[in-house]
Chains A and B, each alone.
Chain A
Amino acid sequence: MPRSDGYTSFVNSGVGKKVASALGLPQPVPLRRYAPGRPLVDGPVLVGGHADTPAVSALRDGLTAAGATLVDAVPDGPRLGGVVVDLTAAETPADLESLRATLAPALKRLGRCARVVVVGRDPERAGSVAQRAARRALEGITRSVGKELRAGATANLVLVADGHEASALGTVLFLLSARSAYVDGQVVRVGEREVHAAPVDAERPLAGKVAVVTGAARGIGADIARTLHRDGATVVCVDVPAAGASLAAVANEVGGTALQLDVTALDAGTRILEHATTRHGGLDVVVHNAGITRDKLLANTDAERWDSVLRVNLLSILQMNEALLAKSGLRDGGRVVLVSSIAGIAGNRGQSNYAASKAGVIGLVDGYAADRGLVRRGITVNAVAPGFIETEMTARIPLATREVGRRLNSLAQGGLPVDVAEAIAFYAADAQGAVSGNVIRVCGQSLLGA
């Protein structure tokens, strides 16, 4: 459901465009968003990079199969839908010139909501100091390009492991596609696991999967349920009994089931697992989305406010995962997706309890992703960290504060709940078997905590 705030509509009108341009005001454009049947990108994709570009070589067939028209030089005709620059072969900072040479002419020929995807390698795995510097430099370049881009275009960096370049196909496709509309200036690490995903229906990558979404009655949670369903999953919608009416509406809309329970209940994990197993035969994807805010300056935060936020947003996840991640829980190849927040990264005045819980969630991702037992079972654990998302909750923020929140990012607008949901659906697919331990910010490259 393409929605747009009033300002974005204004600056995209004839007179508004002139006014915004004359005053040097931000000029957000309606972002390209995914709908089944839409092409991967609107325009040819330039591929290039340094030396023998091993990543581009490994990805070329996959990108083409996904519908991308690859070009090796900036074409005269149509504007570019995207650029994939492969710097995996960079040995020293001098090699970064290859990136500049590929990207600079292309940036002037980008279409609306075009995509820049830089592919590099993990600095921590570098063989020399010079190589490490070159690899680290990619992050600075990508983030700067993200800020330079206009008209809804984004720039992101993918770090791939040596010899496992093909495992990054799903990630590169996500970052090129309209599904990543509000993902900008991010670094996604793709690990060494081989992905043997059988060729799936690209429009239903989650076909046959059973997913649980907590906090599904409204807002971002409801859109997560809708998006996972759109991608083919059977969705168990969970929320507190008091939210049962809207929960039922969401569950019926997505043809799933409603499970009314409080995630802080001691047996919440067991009950979710039992429901998924008896009703749907098992569990593949868990999205821990349920969360609350009880905002107050720390100086005025009593134990109750502190405790309730930590219990719902953090402790309940640990507690539920005892059952969900047990051997009898999530099936092999399962996916756990947590919802952090930009507040957990940057901190936020009056949200020390919330920030504690959301930073803690990142700790959970690190911890679970390193768990050898989970790795052996092919279970990945990742998080999204939403920035300013247009929800009922943010609609209640006072206008001035809300406007600042909306504009302080490279896309000069708030994201939509579906943008968060798309990132979650991305993690959930089989193709992302090598993506674990990531925290992708869905924030339009917000200035906060960057």
Chain B
Amino acid sequence: MPTTRRAAVLGGNRIPFARQFGPYAEASNQDMLTAALEGLVARHGLAGERVGEVVAGAVIKHSRDFNLTREAVLGSSLAADTPAYDIQQACGTGLEATILVANKIALGQAESAIAGGVDSASDAPIVVPERLRRKLLRLNRAKTPAERAKAAAALRPTDLGIQVPAATEPRTGMSMGEHMAITAARWGVTREAQDELALASHQKLAAAYERGFFDDLLTPYLGQTRDQNLRPDTTLEKLGSLRTAFGTGPDATMTAGNSTPLSDGASTVLLGSEEWAAAHGLKPLAFFVDGETAAVDYLGGEEGLLMAPAYAVPRMLARQGLSLQDFDLYEIHEAFAATVLSTMAAWEDEEFCRERLGLDAPLGGIDRAKLNVTGSSLAAGHPFAATGGRIVATLAKLLHEKGSGARGLISICAAGGQGVVAILEAA
């Protein structure tokens, strides 16, 4: 058996994220993933190159896209003998893909790999109601004219109708925002704190664009050169004037301004062994240190739908012998401003840390100056599966800027009560 070695994050590329029904309204997941791959290939000189494997996925997927990532590879400039497969773990997809390929590289099963994700909230599959679907399948199975006539006669005008997928939890029928509103109330997260976090996200993302930070992380697509959702000139007053969107009564603190919008976009990250990187003239930005996933029982266990990262992080820290304060940078995915604030509140809460996490003392606070320093999903937008790749590439570059040994923590919540977290360390 091979011993493990370090897997390096070598670079990334994404297309600017766009709002639902915006400039990418007509672009498919395959189009966007291919575009993101093409930019990555161009930046790293991989045209005609066989990469160990490409792993990506989409949360909202057409049935025709059963081999989405492989199809994107075939449409790209990578060598056609580059294998690929799809994974899906809701909003954790991109980070989970990174963990998968980093582990393969660490084990010597791959020399290089690309992890990524894509999602379109615009070019969504349309589903017919279940009753109609069954009748249509019956019609399709019919062999004789008589059977066909009988099956056709069973169709009723009332069967018609279409269902567009929504960010709704199948087991509760509640939207993700409604779930989050319960958790926000549980942790007493205020409207003001959420708006402040949202404002900071926009300001920091805008500043990062201004200093050219994304020049080697992003390739324009369909005329879009920056994230469409970015509002560099938004203010607390503007955010404060928005109507609440989730929750009821005094607990309603969440608005369209402090929640991520439905988005379209794709991202990719290039990883490799140090040998492969050197052979390709690529300098590692960061090494992948560890990853952890967690899930919570949000149905019967009285835990918030998006709180799984609060459990995943301490498990990973314990394994690594690190404290929550041992990081130079934190990337906590802003599904909602309240997600970030609830998670941090939980880590500071003695009772939660003792009873839920089984710790002797609270994990403690995070220096907010180290949190999402180039903005996060509230400003950039959140094409579900593409967020992980955005964060990994961004953090790897930020750590590289900080210098060797700098450490960063990633935390991403996902539907189904799940969470994916990881640690990167500057090369």
Contact = CB atoms under 8 A, between A and B. Distances in A.
Nearest to B216: A260
B47 A251 contact: yes
B218 A244 contact: yes
Interface string B53-96: 00000000000000000000000010000000000000000000
Contacts of B38: 248-249, 252
A244 B35 CA distance: 11
Contacts of B220: 241-245
Contacts of A414: none
A73 B219 CA distance: 60
Interface string A223-253: 0000000000000010001111101110111
A254 B214 CA distance: 24
A244 B43 CA distance: 10
B405 interface: no
Given A242-B225, A280-B281, A248 B215 contact: no
A281 interface: yes
A251 B77 CA distance: 10
Which of B218, B281, B283 has the most chain A CB within a 10 Å cutoff?
A: B281
B48 interface: yes
B45 A248 contact: no
A34 B391 CA distance: 47
Contacts of B216: 259-260
Contact of B43 (A258, A262, A280): A258
Contacts of B48: 255
B42 interface: yes
A71 interface: no
Contacts of B45: 251, 255-257, 279
B42 A261 contact: no
A20 interface: no
Nearest to B49: A255
A245 B44 CA distance: 14
Contacts of A253: 47, 77
Nearest to B41: A252
Interface string B267-285: 0000000000000111100
Contacts of B47: 251-256
Nearest to A277: B281
B309 interface: no
Nearest to A254: B47
A77 to B, nearest CB: 46
Given A248-B42, A257-B42, A265 B212 contact: yes
Which of B45, B212, B216, B221 has the most chain A CB within a 10 Å cutoff?
A: B45
A278 interface: yes
Nearest to A245: B220
A423 B373 CA distance: 48
Interface string B193-217: 0000000000000000000101110
Nearest to B209: A241
B210 to A, nearest CB: 12
A247 to B, nearest CB: 7
Contacts of B281: 278-281
Given A257-B45, A278-B281, A244 B212 contact: no
B177 interface: no
A255 B48 CA distance: 7
A279 B41 CA distance: 13
A257 B215 contact: no
A344 B63 CA distance: 59
Q: How large is the interface on B (under 10, 10 to 19, 20 to 34, 35 or more residues)?
A: 20 to 34
Contacts of B283: 278
Nearest to B15: A245
Nearest to A256: B45
Nearest to B283: A278
Nearest to A274: B283
B39 interface: yes
A245 B215 contact: no
B282 A245 contact: no
Nearest to B223: A245
Contacts of A257: 42-45
A254 B47 CA distance: 8
Contact of A261 (B41, B215, B282): B215
B75 to A, nearest CB: 12
A54 B352 CA distance: 95
Given A278-B281, A279-B281, A279-B282, A241 B215 contact: yes
A130 B216 CA distance: 61
Nearest to A257: B45
A279 B212 CA distance: 21
B282 A248 contact: no
Contacts of A247: 42
Which of A242, A253, A258 has the most chain B CB within a 10 Å cutoff?
A: A258
B116 to A, nearest CB: 15
B163 to A, nearest CB: 34
A323 to B, nearest CB: 17
Given A241-B220, A245-B219, A258 B42 contact: yes
Contacts of A241: 212, 214-215, 218, 220, 225
Nearest to B13: A248
Contacts of A248: 38-39, 41-43, 219
Contacts of A279: 45, 280-282
B44 A244 contact: no
Interface in B286-307: none
A244 B280 CA distance: 22
Contacts of A243: 220
Which of B35, B41, B42 has the most chain A CB within a 10 Å cutoff?
A: B42
Given A257-B42, A279-B45, A245 B77 contact: no
B41 A245 contact: no
A253 B281 CA distance: 20
A251 B76 CA distance: 13
Contacts of B221: 245
B268 to A, nearest CB: 12
A290 to B, nearest CB: 15
A250 to B, nearest CB: 8
Nearest to A265: B212
A251 B282 CA distance: 17
A252 B42 contact: yes
B41 A260 contact: no
B14 to A, nearest CB: 11
Contacts of A256: 45, 47
A212 B225 CA distance: 24
Contacts of A252: 38, 41-42, 47, 77
A222 B48 CA distance: 19
Contacts of A262: 212
A244 B282 contact: no
B222 to A, nearest CB: 8
A265 B45 CA distance: 23
A255 B283 CA distance: 19
Which of B39, B214, B218, B225 has the most chain A CB within a 10 Å cutoff?
A: B39
A263 to B, nearest CB: 13
30 contacts: A242-B225, A243-B220, A244-B218, A245-B35, A245-B39, A247-B42, A248-B39, A248-B41, A248-B43, A252-B41, A252-B77, A253-B47, A253-B77, A256-B45, A257-B43, A257-B44, A258-B39, A258-B42, A258-B219, A260-B216, A261-B212, A261-B215, A262-B212, A265-B212, A278-B282, A278-B283, A279-B45, A279-B280, A279-B281, A280-B281
Given A255-B47, A261-B215, 17 more contacts: A241-B212, A243-B220, A244-B219, A244-B220, A245-B220, A251-B42, A251-B47, A252-B41, A252-B77, A253-B77, A254-B47, A255-B48, A260-B216, A261-B212, A279-B280, A279-B282, A281-B281
Instruction: Give 8 closest A-B pairs by Cβ, nearest first.
Output: A248-B42, A258-B42, A252-B77, A279-B281, A257-B45, A251-B42, A244-B219, A252-B47
Interface of B: 35, 38-39, 41-45, 47-48, 77, 212, 214-216, 218-221, 225, 280-283
